[in-house]
Amino acid sequence: MKGLVWLRNDLRIDDNPALRQACIDTNEVHCIYIYSSEQMKLHNQANCKIEFIINNLINLNENLKKLNIPLTIVDSKGFSDNPKKILDIVKERSISSVYWNNMFGTDESERDKKVKDLLDKENIKNISFNDQVVFAPGTIRTKEEKPYSVFTPFKRRWIENFNLDFLDIEFKYAPKDNANINSNVDEFNFEFNKTHSVDMSIWKIGETNALLILEEYLDKKVFQYSINRNDPILEGTSRLSPYLASGIISPKRCILEALKINNFELDSGEKGIIKWIDEIVWREFYKNIMFCFPKVSKGQPFQDYTKNIKWRFNQSEFDAWRNGMTGFPIIDSAMRQLKSEGWMHNRLRMVVAMFFTKNMLHDWRLGEAFFMENLLDGDFSSNNGGWQWSSSTGTDAAPYFRIFNPITQSKNFDGQGKFIKKHIFELKDLDTKEIHDPSAALRNHLNYPMQILDLKESRLRAVDAFNAAKN
């Protein structure tokens, strides 16, 4: 019996339900990964994320070799040819069953259905699993059997339905029969054009490193998470989001290891651990929204009335924002972090997005796309959810009149200006009084730009725009 595992957002061996079941069911296992640079561009995948995926595929290939499981990279023009590509391999290698872990985006779901329909037609056994979530999207519902659109009651029901058996993920792999198929990973032309400025050395490759990062974080920093998570210089977050986004580590593994040090309590015990698990549940909530409300995958706001907002656009302001030259140090340092690390601290994502959509009054979809094009941890559902929250167009949205003042946010969460100085070299010698809002004289002297807008005036403009859309 031969099994085929179709790898996607699950580039790991640990807690990989599709791979595990294939190893249980069959004596010979093959893995494939369908690579399409065109499809990645269509979905605004960042170049740094593509490089990250490629490097992790190379690492995964070495780990699979130890199990006598070959990994084949399949060249593809896009989702439309995936069914035929898979069927061709199935027939060529006499595969008896195909396994994969589900993806929940609209395009991905439609593609997977076509693959399944074709395999069913050919009487090829196929099984799919949920590895990105504890509960499949759409299964956590209200008493009226409606999907949740607010996080807190969703989380409450999520906890009510949670069972530790869901975290029965341990599995000891044994080498399979030799497939006599050579992997092509080392020879495959990924057609990757490295056009990014991210220092990839700060992101360690492979699931072994991901598990080590998790272990080290849970050993010390997680206990202070609820206190330190909003300070961008303290490194109070786990920085596991790139590994979760590409499936180098599973959310179930993260939850399990966190619960082990919290007496397996989800809503009591260490505040830092509870809050950290909350963030994983947020990821699941946004996948639920994406699945249950397909309109958000089609560029539509969750709050229908916000379709009426008359967004403005100013090219010079947009360029200043994306290049970290707005004249607001906390905004600029965050945007420069994004360019240099492919990642941005979560608090700053909210500050930056709210500045873009409220103060600048630019369409949230432009910011959402820019983030996806630059984020190493780009995940459509989380990115869309975050941008719509900040712009007051989405679920659980911040009230439209709530607009972060970037100078106040800077003083509150980067009081000493250490984060600003780390990314804005022009301001590295300023003291704590000057760093958050330098004087005009200092700006001229240090060649740092003037503010691109007036905070008070822009706030009033935003409130007026939202009021007009409502009425």
Identity (one letter) of the amino acid at 238? Answer: S
Does residue 387 carry a catalytic annotation?
Answer: yes
Contact assessment for residue 276 and residue 364, using Cβ atoms and an 8 Å cutoff? no
Cα dihedral 63, 374, 278, 407 sign: positive
d(C-alpha 430, C-alpha 417), whole Å:
9
**Catalytic annotation on 346?**
yes
The answer to whether 364 is a known catalytic residue is yes
Catalytic residue among 55, 228, 257, 279: 279
Instruction: Decide if 86 contacts 126 (C-beta within 8 A).
Output: no
Per DSSP, 306 falls in state G
CA 378, 366, 350, 407 dihedral sign is positive
The residue from 130, 257, 311, 412 that is catalytic is 311
Identify the active-site residue in 55, 346, 405, 412.
346
* Side-chain half-sphere CA neighbours of 83 within 13 A: 17
Phi-psi region of 392 (alpha: psi -120 to 50; beta: other; left: phi over 0): left
Q: Which of 117, 73, 76, 77 is nearest to 98 (CA)?
A: 117
**Nearest in space to 404 (alpha carbons), one of 326, 470, 347, 345:** 347
Strands 28-35 and 97-101: unpaired
Catalytic residue selected from 100, 276, 343, 387: 387
- Residue 312 bridge partners (DSSP): 362
Distance CA 332, CA 325 (A): 6
Query: Exactly one of 364, 368, 374, 384 is catalytic; which is it?
Result: 364
CA–CA distance, 197 with 121 (Å, rounded to integer): 47
Is 311 known to be catalytic? yes
Q: Which residues pair with 126 in a beta bridge?
A: 98
* From 100, 203, 276, 282, active-site residue: 282
Backbone region of residue 361 per phi and psi (left: phi > 0; alpha: psi in -120 to 50; beta: other values): left
For the chain, give percent helix, strand, coil, nearest 5: 50, 5, 40
DSSP per-residue letters across 119-141 = HHHTT-EEEEE--S-SS-TT-SB
Give the position of tokens 């099984």: 127
Which sequence positions are flagged as catalytic?
A: 279, 282, 311, 346, 364, 387
